[in-house]
């Protein structure tokens, strides 16, 4: 009782646990068009997220050939005419080329395949294997011009 009056009573220490972090999504970009969605990973965690969490098996997956870079996902929201699909493929190939180590080249070979043919490599956060792919030329300047026309910030955004 005397301890209580003097304020010297021992108070049980509160358990200290790890602080809960807010669930931030890995860095990626999301583009919404009338007929398609496009996702681009901006880091190894972002690549893993867009490829294995957001992408559906029939979505198209894009990656710059032979260099580290973004994984880009194309999800058509409805059936696309061949010219529309080719325009979206060019856009995605441009994104994959721009967000790669080959950004400075005028043309970069970009592989694409259905997401179902992309598999993670154990122990490597950023590494994948893929099969049944096609290759297109990606122009990083196409994405740069599109970004400037639409007044988009450089990068580092996390999509909602």
| Residue 114 reports pLDDT greater than 70 | yes
- pLDDT higher than 80, residue 1: no
pLDDT for 73-90, tens place per residue? 999 999 999 999 999 999
What confidence tier does 91 reach under pLDDT thresholds 50, 70, 90?
very high
Q: Are the beta carbons of 77 and 37 closer than 8 angstroms?
A: yes
Would you put residue 151 in left (φ > 0), alpha (ψ -120 to 50) or beta?
left
pLDDT in tens, 143-152: 878 777 876 6
Tokens of 144: 């740069």
Give me the helix-helix angle, 82-98 and 140-149, nearest 10°. Answer: 100
Residue 154 — pLDDT band, cuts 50, 70, 90?
low
Q: What count of Cα atoms within 13 Å lies in the side-chain half-sphere of residue 155?
A: 14
Query: Around Cβ 87, how many Cβ atoms within 10 Å?
Result: 13
Quickly count: other Cβ atoms within 10 Å of residue 100's Cβ: 23
- Residues 29-82 have pLDDT tens digits of 898 988 999 999 999 999 999 999 999 999 999 999 999 999 999 999 999 999
CA distance 77 to 59: 10
- Cβ 107 vs Cβ 67: under 8 Å: no
Residue 22's pLDDT band, with cuts at 50, 70 and 90, is low
* Domains in the chain: boundaries: 25-149
> What single DSSP character describes residue 59?
S
Residue 110 three-state SS: strand
Residue 7's pLDDT band (boundaries 50, 70, 90)? Answer: low
Residue with tokens 């699909």: 85
How would residue 3 be classed by pLDDT, with cut points 50, 70 and 90? low
Average confidence score pLDDT of the chain = 83
């Amino acid at each position: 009782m005397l301890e209580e009056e003097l304020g010297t009573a021992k108070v049980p220490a509160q358990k200290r646990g790890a602080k809960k972090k807010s669930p931030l999504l890995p860095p990626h970009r999301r583009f919404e068009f009338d007929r398609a969605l496009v996702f681009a990973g901006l880091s190894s965690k972002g690549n893993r997220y867009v490829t294995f969490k957001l992408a559906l098996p029939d979505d198209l997956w894009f990656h710059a050939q032979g260099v580290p870079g973004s994984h880009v996902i194309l999800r058509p929201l409805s059936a696309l005419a061949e010219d529309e699909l080719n325009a979206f493929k060019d856009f995605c190939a441009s994104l994959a080329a721009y967000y790669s180590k080959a950004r400075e080249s005028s043309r970069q070979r970009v592989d694409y395949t259905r997401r179902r043919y992309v598999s993670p490599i154990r122990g490597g956060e950023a590494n994948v294997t893929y099969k049944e792919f096609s290759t297109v030329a990606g122009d990083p300047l196409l994405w740069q011009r599109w970004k400037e026309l639409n007044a988009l910030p450089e990068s580092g955004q996390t999509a909602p």
